[in-house]
Structure 1
Amino acid sequence: MLAGHAVPAAAQMASDPTVTLEAASDERRRGLDWSDGDPVLRGTVSVPVAQGLSLDGAATTLWGSNRHGDADAVIDLGATYMRQLGGWRLSAEGRYHLFPGASGANGDGWGYGEVGAIAGFSLGPASMDLAARYAPRQSAIGGDNLYLSASSAVGIPGTPLTLSGHVGHSSGDVRDAPRATRLRPDGGYWDHGVALDWYRGRWSAGLRYANSSIDGPASRHAGASLIARVGLTL
């Protein structure tokens, strides 16, 4: 539920349907601002349908995102399959991203899909995840896109706080340069961030620092940012 960051293992292995409502001061993914610096509202749902398999969906307001054809929102739909092998969590996932309100009827021509694989390990209150996510060649993103990342999280003993961080790298082939700038505005680049989150019952809140290696004119909405959020899980 925290894009680009590890979440507590218990949340990842939930066996019941979960719904989360969240407000955040910005929507930033892989170091890139998707909401042009505006606050967002987000709703997510995860529904287990079989042992280890869940269907997932999320809707986030974008308020006319310049990065995504003036889209008013992004809807993420997909599925996740997870296996626990000893201390390891192995996951495979597929996602499709829709952009209602983008240029063209129903955002046609702006949606794109990606698949991913994640290997995670937990030791006491700490966890670490290595992930690869790949968007095959699609006209909507001007080529293909590969995102490799490593993330970690640790619960601070005796407190409701979790400290997490991540580093990631985006790369890919460019067939249509203007469209490729959606996900890679300056070619291949690194992003990184740290977050401090508070969990108490159904409530959560947090602060996240995000930054990227993108420089020059392309760094607009891709530089250092501090993001606040508050959420409620039903």
Structure 2
Amino acid sequence: MTTRNFPAIIAASLSPLAFLAPIGAHAQATLDASASLEASTDIRDRGLSQTGGKLGVALDGSLPITQNLVIDAKAETLRGSNRNGDSQFGLEIAPHFVASSEGWDFTAGARGHIYADAGELDYVELEGSVSRTLGPAWLTLNADYAPSQDAIGGSNLYLQANLGLGIPGTPLTAYAGVGHTMGTTSNAVRAVRLRPDGDYTDWYLAIERAHLNFTVGMELTGTSIDQDAARDTRYWDNDTGTRVSGYMRVAF
């Protein structure tokens, strides 16, 4: 793993958060530490498999430091997928500023992606989101930007809209979302990691059932990526098309 540049990059990335300080004064919610363990038939992110289409396990945690500063972390098995340089294990660390104002929730921060025994593939993204709850439904808009880095062969911007709906009278929750990935390319081989066929659009539909602290669900994902594109490059992974995956999650 290569993490020597993370402290400097994350510190620099957090400086733009100063403009959100007035919003933070309105935040009232009390945040609690939380964790969950999830097993999925295929861990997917932005329509791309992170486990080569194989079963994966992820442990998520969230730790509030202050009322407005939260550190999220995730550890997951990657099953030696091509996309992650044959790494078996991935770690994400994400400090975030959180605030609420006039019924809107805001987050802004950074996320470091670390890959065990994968060479120079670690990278950092800046993240921001805004969300609103309306009755049993909620809307979230996300923007994630990775400045140009050798590990991803350039820069990358991901925009996504997500909608969730708790189905009244049932223990079911439905989700839907659409995203678009774009960026610049300085190394065409490594750019395949986040943009296998250049700029692309992804979408998902999911439904889950929760009982106490246990959740089961199914998710359908798809992308606009040409399945025959970049097939012979180092980081190409075939699992970028339409797929159905199932998952189970327990919260602590």
Aligned CA-pair RMSD: 1.2
Q: How do residues 106-185 of structure 1 correspond to structure 2 at under 5 angstroms? A: 109-185=120-196
Cα distance between partner residues in 2 of 1:216 and 1:37: 14
The answer on 1:58 being equivalent to 2:74 is: yes
**Counterpart AA for 2:100:** Q
What is the count of residue pairs matched by the alignment?
217
Runs of 4+ with deviation above 4 angstroms: none
The answer on 1:232 being equivalent to 2:250 is: yes
CA deviation digits over 1:4-23, x for unaligned, max 9? xxxxxxxxx77211111110
Change (3 A) 1:92 1:203: same
Change (3 A) 1:223 1:50: same
Structure 1 residue corresponding to 2:238, chosen from 213, 220, 226: 220
Do the aligned partners of 1:87 and 1:123 also contact (CA within 8 Å) in 2?
no
Larger strand fraction of residues: 1
Do the aligned partners of 1:81 and 1:92 also contact (CA within 8 Å) in 2?
yes
SS at match of 1:172: strand
- State the TM-score, normalizing by the size of structure 2: 0.83
Structure 2 residue corresponding to 1:85, chosen from 101, 112, 118: 101
Give 1 or 2 for the bigger CA radius of gyration.
2
Report the CA distance between 1:216 and its aligned residue: 3.8
Query: What stretches of structure 1 of length at least 5 have no aligned partner?
Result: 1-12
Q: Which residue of 1 aligns with 2:233?
A: none
Could you tell which deviates more after superposition, 43-52 or 139-148?
Answer: 43-52
Report the CA distance between 1:220 and its aligned residue: 2.0
Structure 1 residue corresponding to 2:112, chosen from 76, 80, 96: 96
Do the aligned partners of 2:160 and 2:180 also contact (CA within 8 Å) in 1?
yes
**Counterpart AA for 2:34:** T
Cα distance between partner residues in 2 of 1:64 and 1:210: 21
Query: What stretches of structure 2 of length at least 5 have no aligned partner?
Result: 1-28, 230-236
Cα distance between partner residues in 2 of 1:200 and 1:53: 30
Q: Percent of aligned pairs with the same residue?
A: 38
Change (3 A) 1:14 1:61: farther
- State the TM-score, normalizing by the size of structure 1: 0.90
Report the CA distance between 1:121 and its aligned residue: 1.1
